[in-house]
Chain A
Amino acid sequence: AQKVTQAQTEISVVEKEDVTLDCVYETRDTTYYLFWYKQPPSGELVFLIRRNSFDEQNEISGRYSWNFQKSTSSFNFTITASQVVDSAVYFCALSDGRGSTLGRLYFGRGTQLTVWP
């Protein structure tokens, strides 16, 4: 069964600090996908990134970067030079197994990030 653990319940930083959100997953599948979502105070879930299990290259998008390491089953998310607008709950998610036509995702419990001015 798929499982995602986000051990950090809440993180507080001051603006311009870097912050890393941890995500550890469990799966028996050899092919799978990992996702990060952002949930701002308004409530909607915003898709940030998708990563497949065969691509361990780090990805950078502006101030966001993702570090995927299969050896430790981790998919960590780093925000560089954080801003107040980054304050949100961030969810890591793991896809259903290969061959599934469902596209169901298994979510971690989320990390509440608060960025203070």
Chain B
Amino acid sequence: SQTIHQWPATLVQPVGSPLSLECTVEGTSNPNLYWYRQAAGRGLQLLFYSVGIGQISSEVPQNLSASRPQDRQFILSSKKLLLSDSGFYLCAWSVRFLKSYNSPLHFGNGTRLTVT
């Protein structure tokens, strides 16, 4: 069965420090991968998505970046964190084939980031 791992679970970082959140998927190949952020208002905002190694698309301009160095690895990074980067970050995967629009997203347990 497929599993998704995301770490760390919680993180407290000072403003201006770098960030690296990692997500890996097991039990599937060529997944679509996503980073979502959930701010205090509870809404889920898509930050980045990837349909393959090295292929990253950004949904909103921001202080963050993403990379996909391996097929089942997705990394969220920042060189210098801002206070506004605080939130709950969720990694997700979905099956990638011709009809991916009907594929549910499967989420990791999330990382709660507090920037102080």
Q: Are A50 and B104 in contact (CB under 8 A)?
A: yes
Q: Are A44 and B49 in contact (CB under 8 A)?
A: no
In the bound complex, residues from chain A placing their C-beta under 8 Å from that of B49 are: 102, 104
Bound Cα distance A110, B112 (Å): 18
**With A50-B102, A101-B96 in contact, is A89–B42 under 8 Å at CB?**
yes
**With A52-B102, A95-B101, A97-B101 in contact, is A102–B107 under 8 Å at CB?**
no
Question: Considering the complex, which residues of chain A in the window 67-111 have a beta carbon less than 8 Å from any beta carbon of chain B?
Answer: 89, 91, 93, 95-105, 107, 109-110
Answer yes or no: B95 CB below 8 A from chain A CBs.
yes
Q: Which residues does B use to contact A, with CB under 8 Å?
A: 32, 34, 41-44, 46, 49, 51, 88, 90, 92, 94-98, 100-110, 112
Q: Which residues does A use to contact B, with CB under 8 Å?
A: 31-33, 35, 37, 42-47, 50, 52, 89, 91, 93, 95-105, 107, 109-110, 112
